[in-house]
Structure 1
Amino acid sequence: MIADIPNFADHKVVSQEEELKARMKHLRDEVALTHALDRLRAERRALPWVRVEKQYVFDAPTGKVELLDLFEGRSQLVVHHFMLTPGSDHVCPGCSFIADHTETARQHFEQADLSFAAISRAPVPQIERVKKRMGWTFAWVSSGDSDFNYDFTVAFTPEAKGDGGAPYNFGKERITKADDMFGISMFAMRDGAVYHTYSTYRRGAELLMGALNWLDLAPKGRNEEGAAHSWLRLHDAY
């Protein structure tokens, strides 16, 4: 459970005056959190960069492309490490939830000098089938057998998974079934060089799931029972 949800059927009902008093108290907490998030975002933007020295080559429907090509002339790039394993029929609901938001949001952040691309280890034909099913049009390329997904710790060799846990989410996690996981990585391009500026995994990706913010405003919240996001489905499977 993300948080305890009061019983919807017999939720406390008070006068408008009492509700306003409780709301104003809660507003102070909301404002404090907003200011704390502003500080956190500023700290994120100030994090040091690492130059990407390796030349990564990806498979796209149009042929071979490099990481620099994915910038499409802009100075910033966000990569969605989409969890799509070669030969697997499983399409990650969480990754798809992010992609649903990206499909419409990117028309705005592309105007703010930020490009988007999804990258998976699955081959292009497998990626294209998922794109067609879900109605997505954003750039999505295959890292194939390159080191990209392994270097950014969203793919794991059998040896890595067996050596005290897979190197994921800035630590070691017991990942026994999946060969791929999800994440978000940010890159900058300056004077022809590419830099890795930030990555986040697990619940860090909730920043991109705008529908959760709408649900969090509702009385039932995310209406979850058991594990977080246990209710989530592909948008054509509800």
Structure 2
Amino acid sequence: MTTATATITATKSPVPAPHHPVVSPEQWVTERRKLMAREKELTRLGDAVARERRALPWVRMDKDYRFDTPTGRRPLADLFGGHRQLVLQHFMMGPGWEAGCKSCSYMADHTDPTLVHLAHRDTAFVAVSRAPLEEIERFRKRMGWSFPWVSSHGTSFNYDFHVSFTPEQLADGTADYNFGSKPPGQEMPGISAFWKGDDGTVFLTYSTFGRGVEVMMHTYRLLDLTAKGRDEDGLDFTMAWVRHHDRYETAAAAKACCAG
């Protein structure tokens, strides 16, 4: 094992070290403690903002939205699955799309393992797209996901939540995304949270858009801990590197290797 490791190490091409200060362990601990003080400030601020978020007033959902699901057409109240709370991903996938948005798919890759934990905090999860259900199901099968994903096709749901826009809205400048921004496209991402009362009444408690959807990106947070971080500065746009998880070159190479 030692000999093999030494041989592999010797044949690797040298990788230039990044231009970065290198200090003693003692000095590193000193600097780390300084940063930890700032991190604790951020944590306390995050806790305070979370309290303000929970204190937001609610909006009663009076419109009777109906969604296409694998078990038939269902109202919004049925998507809670017996829980009081619902987290909803506005997943970018319009009618006729061959695949869902790469960034929304990146978010969705984190979802399935969390469902059991959400359920134990009285919370359900669902993704909603404007694509017809059969198109959603075809893409879901390709991705291997099992979380609930329903279609709002033929309803005003996406438009009412300002995550879908008509060509006319985009052309005349009336499209309103993220509480006052102009969307770059016809479909945009978002996360909304709902509460269901004992009588079945549903309330909107929170929505976030733009970079707010990063709450679903666990690996983004992990990358923030590394020396290179998200490593996106030289890209054309944020998340330009993201692919559907079965479209990365490494995944294709591994599949070809195994098939051979």
TM-score, normalization: structure 1?
0.93
User: Partner of 2:42: helix, strand, or coil?
Assistant: helix
Of 225, 232, 237, the match for 2:242: 232
Q: Runs of 5+ in structure 2 lacking a partner?
A: 1-15, 249-260
State yes or no: 1:80 paired with 2:51.
Answer: no
* 2:219 paired with 1:211: yes
- In the alignment, the residues of structure 1 paired with residue 19 and residue 191 of structure 2 have an alpha-carbon distance, to the nearest angstrom, of 41
8 Å contact from structure 1 (residues 165, 174) kept in 2? no
Corresponding residue for residue 61 of structure 1: 70
Larger % of strand: which? Answer: 1
CA distance in structure 2 between the partners assigned to 1:165 and 1:234 by the alignment: 32
**Alpha-carbon distance, 1:61 to partner:** 1.6
| Residues 83 and 91 in structure 1, CA contact (< 8 A), matched pair in contact too | yes
Secondary structure of 2:27 counterpart: helix
Deviation at 1:12, TM superposition (A): 1.3
Q: Deviations over 1:159-185 (max 9, x none)?
A: 21122252111113053xx32111101
Determine the C-alpha separation between the residues in 1 that align with 2:244 and 2:32.
35
C-alpha contact (below 8 Å) 2:132/2:151 kept by paired residues: yes
Q: Shift of the alpha carbon at 1:45? A: 0.6
Tell me if the contact between 1:164 and 1:174 (Cα under 8 Å) persists in the aligned partners. no
Structure 1 segments (4+ residues) deviating >4 Å: none
Question: Relative contact order (C-alpha < 8 Å, sep 6+): which is higher?
Answer: 1
Spell out the pairing of 1:122-141 with structure 2 (5 A cutoff). Answer: 122-141=131-150
| Distance in 1 separating the partners of 2:172 and 2:203 | 30
Which structure has the greater CA radius of gyration? 2
The alignment's C-alpha RMSD in Å is: 1.3
Q: 2:178 is matched with which residue: 169, 182, 185?
A: 169
Structure 1: gaps (5+ residues): 1-6
User: Structure 2: how far apart are the matches of 1:87 and 1:219?
Assistant: 41
Task: Provide Cα deviations, 1:118-154, integer angstroms capped at 9, x if missing partner.
Answer: 1111011100011101110011111011010000001
SS of residue paired to 1:145: coil
- TM norm structure 2: 0.85
Partner residue, 2:195: 188
- Superposed displacement of residue 90, structure 1: 4.1
Aligned-pair identity in percent equals: 49
CA contact (8 A) 2:176 2:183 kept: no
Q: When the two structures are aligned, how many residues end up with a matched partner?
A: 230
